[in-house]
Amino acid sequence: MSAPIKTPAAETLPRPAGLAGLASDWASDQRTFKNVSWGKAMMWIFLLSDTFVFGCFLLAYMAARMSTTVPWPNPSEVFALEIGGTHMPLILIAIMTFVLISSSGTMAMAVNCGYRRDRRKTAILMLVTALFGATFVGMQAFEWSKLISEGVRPWGNPWGAAQFGSSFFMITGFHGTHVTIGVIFLLIVARKVWRGDYDTERRGFFTSRKGRYEIVEITGLYWHFVDLVWVFIFAFFYLW
């Protein structure tokens, strides 16, 4: 007669009830996001959902622009500045784009330094990235104030199709909000890196396991996404 099959101890434990049981079942599934941390997986899911939102905004902008019978304002003229008596089309937008793309470089270096456990360089590079982001938001605020003073409103503008104002404020405002949130997140994580929270496993928000600087990479994923979205906004809104 064969010996009775022994049940593993884990299977004899009572299953938690309610939401705790659901969370326990989901967390124990080793096939879900195998070899990928939950933090990174959830960030990718968030970025995927945000891609759909930005995609809908840009598609709505293109539909409005192609369907309107009123001439669309010329971006080269609307976003031009007079500097030293010289008319310079899109100069502010070009500087904003350069600043934001440069911040992707400093963020990538911060991630590299983070995985090499160089706390000082990681924190400094994240602060530089946050400075670039804050500069971008400041220039965007200047751009908004300039257009508002010239009569641009969500329901109209002095140069043509009324949809221009609503498209501009909706798309750039939504993106600017993302950049602002990213700057705040960068400052929080940079402070924790500088204090050594990820080495001492100090309790608090956004503190991961001891010795893990993965939160820097997760922050970088968000920041690179924001930069990439701006490339599409720049191409569709300012160059078209």
Residues 115-154: pLDDT tens digits?
A: 888 889 999 999 999 999 999 999 999 999 999 998 889 8
| 22 part of a folded domain | no
E-only strand ranges, the chain: 81-83, 86-88
Percent of the residues in the chain that have a pLDDT greater than 70, as a whole number: 82
Q: What is the pLDDT of residue 32?
A: 55
Query: Burial letters for 196-221: b for 16+ Cβ neighbours within 10 Å, e otherwise?
Result: ebbeeeeeeeebbeeebbbbbbbbbb
Task: Quote the percentage of the chain above a pLDDT of 90.
Answer: 48
For residue 134, what is the domain's CATH number?
1.20.120.80
**137 domain-assigned:** yes
The answer to whether residue 178 scores a pLDDT higher than 80 is: yes
Q: How far apart are CA 99 and CA 186, in angstroms?
A: 16
Structural domain for 47, as ranges: 38-73+89-238
In order of 78, 85, 87, 200, the CA distances from 82 in angstroms are 12, 6, 5, 53
Compute the mean pLDDT over every residue in the chain, rounded to the nearest whole number.
85
Can you tell me the distance from the alpha carbon of 204 to that of 53, in angstroms, rounded to the nearest whole number? 31
pLDDT surpasses 60 at 96: yes
23, part of any domain: no
Please indicate, yes or no, if residue 26 is contained in any of the structural domains. Answer: no
In a domain, 220, yes or no: yes
The answer to whether residue 168 is domain-embedded is yes
In a domain, 199, yes or no: yes
Full-model pTM: 0.81
Instruction: Please count the structural domains in the chain.
Output: 1
In a domain, 81, yes or no: no
